[in-house]
Amino acid sequence: MSTDKPVQEASISEIDETIALGDFWDTHSLADYWDETEPADLEFAPTLGRRMLVPVDPDLLLRVQHTAQSRGLSTESLVNLLLEQRIQQLTVTTSSAA
């Protein structure tokens, strides 16, 4: 259903290290360390971070928000879950009719 990857919790030592790194770069310049860097190969998924705006009836949106909150989900997660389930139902129905 959901393609979200599970979120890994950071350990206290990782958090401390991240804070220390942030403190370091707050007082240093990358220009001083440029010769120690290496090129990085990056690939970006075309739809990564892409959002679609779809009008939703205000009363329906309130119901979705309340349902999501009561289940401990974000509104976005619940909407995606419901859409995925409904599309699967429609696909099965369409396949059965053919």
Q: What is the pLDDT of residue 94?
A: 75
Structure tokens at 52: 């679609």
Q: What is the pLDDT of residues 4-34, one digit of tens each?
A: 555 566 666 777 888 888 999 999 999 999 9
Whether 84 shows a pLDDT value over 80: the answer reads: yes
Q: What is the pLDDT of residues 57-82, one digit of tens each?
A: 999 999 999 999 999 999 999 999 99
